[in-house]
Structure 1
Amino acid sequence: MTGLATIIGATGFVGRRLLARLGAAGWDTYAPAKGDKSLFGRDMGVVFYCAGLTADYDRRPFDTVDAHASLVSELVRAGRFEQLIYLSSTRLYDGQAAPMVDETTPLVFDPADPRRTYDLSKALGENITLTRAEGRGAVARLANVFDWALESPGFLSQWLIEAARTRDLHLDSTPHVVRDYIRLDDVVSALIAMAERSARGVVNVASGELTGNGEIANLFLKAGWRVTFSGDASPPVPPRVDVARLRALGVAPTPVKDVVRGYLEGLTA
């Protein structure tokens, strides 16, 4: 399947790679500049809503709300799209008492917690997409996305980028942090599959496995790197995310350990 695709946030981490893949696959792509309101007056085809804030959301709460909810509200109101795929986050599950969650798990937030601005604004964006898009909306809840292209954000991304520069790594974290990691290319494959199969509702875009920093560090140690951590705290373990819906779309993310192992082999070859 190809057609017209509009990528909101095409200069960002996910949007940039998605734009390149869609173009290479023969899609007619449109990447409006930030603040370009003319997009609401044109046909948009399949909209991939990749706009958002991550690391600096707490410093920019009002921009966070605009990016996660206000703009998508305007887009849905205009209504000139075939399908809307809204990128959200599996961090919305954090704090759940259950050891495993799926797309039907009710989300629980404390509105008095200032750090919940990210979660609540993403949840509002999800709500608008799922309930106001006349059945044409879908949500992709992304786990911790990583890559090793320069300037890729995120802890593991920076870890991999630094490994190409030095064999002596000192990490500002703890070996006991546990996360679900998914490679950027697998995320892009998942988003395209959601478009090609006209997915509706919520899809967890994750590996479905939790991996600790210490486990990844062991791969580096075996490959000849030296790794130290700045702390030794044991933060709460997030719930494991069910990925049955993702696999039903034909997407099976590569386990993070296999990706890291292959990457390190490439650096030592």
Structure 2
Amino acid sequence: MRCTVIGGAGFVGRRLADTLRRAGHEVWVPARGDRALFSRDLGHVFYCAGLTADYAARPYDTVAAHVTLLADVLRANRYEHLVYLSSTRLYDSSQLPEGDEAAALSLQPANPRALYDFSKGLGENLCLTVADGRTAVARLSCVFDWEAGSPGFLSEWLVRAASERAFRLDSDAGYVRDYIHLDDVVLALETISTRRAGGIFNVASGENVSNGQLAEVFRNAGWDINLSRSSPVQRAAVCSTSALRALGVTPRDVQSMVATYLETIRPWN
């Protein structure tokens, strides 16, 4: 399979490109600004370009990455299938009990945070309305890994655990998120592309886990974890994963994965 990974230097894109190469696929990771993106045969495209942590400080770059470049790729029309990486953060303002792919989103233009939501939503709209059924949207939940340099709150815990037995975290025990391991994300993206699936897929575990629950997993494994605040468990939409599971992809449980990993790195075993 000929593959193009746009944003292949990032957290998800780098692992995805490496996995595709090991599977024997032909993989091209274009450099930023490479105009060949609009003239060569791209094959199966994985659109991983985007900003997350720094979107508020770089609003124009955010729109360019989430919408403008995507529009140019779609307009050039030199791909077989395209998977656009979006986010389950789009459900955060919905106030609904379930994050369902078919549900209407609730967005507030005056909210500074909405820049991220609107830009991802517009990227989704382009894929689903102008691409003649050759695209899919993958809404990723909170992706984690334990390799050094992995971004994200849980990733930070796991990286620190390799060298520290006790640490204090400036966070709330009641804060919840849906976590999915990076390798499960890569499997989901590859499956969506290989199947040439269309529509929206929540790439998530389907379970919300609180910081307090995660801290307890660490404590049971022998680590001393302290959280700075302890509010009641937050209410948040639970991501539906029925569409992803229908493709044969079942993400692993985060608490079990963390417990297993901690068991492998315990220096006092």
1:145 is aligned, of 143, 146, 155, to 143
Gaps in structure 1 of 5+ consecutive residues: none
Q: Does structure 2 conserve the Cα–Cα contact (< 8 Å) formed by 1:178 and 1:238?
A: yes
Would you identify which runs of 4 or more consecutive aligned residues in structure 1 move more than 6 Å?
none
Counterpart in the other structure of 2:27: 29
Deviation at 1:235, TM superposition (A): 7.5
2:103 to 102, 105, 110: 105
Distance (whole Å) between structure 2 residues aligned to residue 135 and residue 252 of structure 1: 25
When structure 1 is superposed on structure 2, of 188-197 and 232-241 the one drifting more is 232-241
Output the CA distance in 1 between the equivalents of 2:33 and 2:43: 19
**What are the equivalent positions in structure 2 for 1:156-175 lying under 5 Å apart?**
156-175=154-173
Relative to the length of structure 2, the TM-score reads: 0.97
Q: Paired residue for 1:238, among 233, 236, 239?
A: 236
2-side partners of 1:55 and 1:129: how far apart?
A: 24
Superposition map of 1:111-122 within 5 A: 111-122=109-120
TM-score, normalised to structure 1, is 0.97
2:26 partner amino acid: D
Counterpart residue identity of residue 106, structure 1: A
Counterpart of 1:136, as a letter, is: R
Deviation at 1:233, TM superposition (A): 4.0
**Contact 1:96 1:238 (8 Å CA) reproduced:** no
Matched, 1:266 2:260: no
1:96 & 1:215 partners in 2: Cα distance? 24
In the aligned structure 2, how far is the partner of 1:232 from the partner of 1:55? 24
Shift in Å at residue 236 of structure 1? 4.3
The letter of the residue matching 2:218 is F
Give the % identical residues: 52
Could you say which residue in structure 1 is the equivalent of 2:245? 247
> Is the Cα–Cα contact under 8 Å of residues 210 and 233 in structure 2 kept in the other structure?
no
Distance 1:65 1:194 in 2: 25
Aligned length: 267
Aligned partner of 1:84 in structure 2 is 82
**Alpha-carbon contact 1:175-1:212 (below 8 Å) kept:** yes
Please name the residue that 1:63 is paired with.
61
TM-superposed deviation, 1:234 = 4.8
Name the residue aligned to 2:13: 15
Q: Which runs of 5+ in 2 are unaligned?
A: none
- What root-mean-square deviation, in Å, do the aligned CA atoms of Structure 1 and Structure 2 show? 1.0
CA contact (8 A) 1:83 1:136 kept: yes
Deviation at 1:232, TM superposition (A): 2.9
CA contact (8 A) 2:137 2:199 kept: yes
